Amino acid sequence: MNSDQVVNGINSSNNKISRRQALWWLTLLLFLVLGFSFFLGRYPSPGFIKIERLMNDSLAQSLVFNLRLPRLLTAALLGMALSAAGVIFQMIFGNPLVEPGFLGVSQGASFGAALSIIFFTQSAWAVQTSAAIFAFLGLGFSYFLARRVHYGGWVLRLILAGIAVSALFSAGLGVLKYTADPLSQLQEITFWLLGGLWGLTWPKFLSILPAVFIGLFIAYRMRWRLNLLSLNDETAFSLGAAPGRERTLVLVAAVIATSAVISVAGMVSWVGLIIPHISRRLFGADARFVLPGSMLIGAAFTILCDDLARVLFAGEIPLGILTSLIGAAIFMGLMIQKRVLVQR
């Protein structure tokens, strides 16, 4: 009998699924989605590729192994990182409606990417590095601004500072777009802002893997502690936590992972907001289950959205548009629907 079954407590004898089992089912689901997406594409014709063809056609092999597979894995990382960051931001700020778009992280990253595209180089690593640097600058700037604000509680101050910093970066981005060369740079910036995973290759995937792994590893190890950090400062302190230091640590972990995925995928919005909500519907509030649940659901959701993005039309649909469209629709549905729980 593991400790999770105690959570079921009095009702442990009935046939509800335990939360640990639910996580295994989600893992299985993720692998199914990965497998299914591996065979799905537009070569030679839209739909599933036949195994015989994959065995014999060298173009098909190259396509599937060198382009599709790294893209699928990156989509999984993207979904995991954005969803985990969403859970972390929501826990830390004690507010279920925040995501990394707050605190200037996303806006900083887009500003940094545009800056690199216009003034330095369009090469992937430069854009990625610049995006990551400005994502951190956005967070840092929001943090220090919030410390100087003398109004309201810490969370409110952070959010106010984040709004101001985001607006600043958005305005900067506007200036950059205005000065960009409309024939080359502006297109590049626009595609980046819409978000997508086209042209994903193994080197790109491998370049973000360490950062995403480190960020998610820290977050995962601190998953139970996130509950503690969602409480008032003095309560968290009285339970032996260092609220300031520990919150900063998980936030930095979240930003490391998000800025890495944003740097290759551009702005893919709504995943960080909607997935933690779905996960909470399934697992309750305990971040010990909500965090891994979000990572698994987020990965599967992003892979499926990316499937649509690359297969639906001959010309690719930007992933960010799809996640926003589907995410917003699900969000509305969740808000008006009665709650559906696996178990509480």
Partner 1 sequence: MTTAALLNFNQIKFTYPIGKSAVMESLDLEILSGTVTAILGPNGAGKTTLLHLAQGWLKPQHGQILLNQQALSSFSRRSLGQWIGLVPQAEHIPFEYSLLEFVLLGRAPHMAPLAMPAQADYEIAIEALRQVGMYELQERSILSLSGGERQLVLVARALAQQPKLLLLDEPTSHLDLSNKGRLLNLLRELLAKDVTILFTTHEPEVASALATQLVLMKKGEILKTGPFSDVFTSDNLSELYQLPVSVADISGRKVALWA
Q: Footprint of partner 1 on this chain (CB under 8 A)?
A: 3, 6-11, 91, 94-96, 150, 221-222, 224-225, 227-228, 230-235, 237-242, 280, 284-286, 288, 344
Q: Closer to partner 1 by CB, 146 or 208: give it.
A: 146
Q: Closer to partner 1 by CB, 202 or 220: give it.
A: 220
Distance between CA atoms of residues 215 and 77, nearest Å: 11
Q: How far is the CB of 213 from partner 1 (least distance, A)?
A: 17
Q: How far is the CB of 140 from partner 1 (least distance, A)?
A: 21
Helix residue ranges, H only, 39-68:
51-56, 58-62
Angle between helices 202-221 and 69-92 (to 10 degrees): 30
Q: Closer to partner 1 by CB, 267 or 291: give it.
A: 291
Distance between CA atoms of residues 329 and 38, nearest Å: 26
Which phi and psi angles does 56 have, rounded to 5°?
A: -110, -25
Q: Closer to partner 1 by CB, 106 or 279: give it.
A: 279
Q: How far is the CB of 9 from partner 1 (least distance, A)?
A: 5
Give the pairing of strands 40-41 and 47-48.
Answer: antiparallel
**Do 325 and 333 contact (CB within 8 A), yes or no?**
no
Structure-block tokens of residue 166: 């985001």
Cis status, amide bond into 210, omega within 30 of 0: no
Q: How far is the CB of 292 from partner 1 (least distance, A)?
A: 12
Q: How far is the CB of 233 from partner 1 (least distance, A)?
A: 7
Distance between CA atoms of residues 315 and 334, nearest Å: 31
Q: Closer to partner 1 by CB, 45 or 337: give it.
A: 337
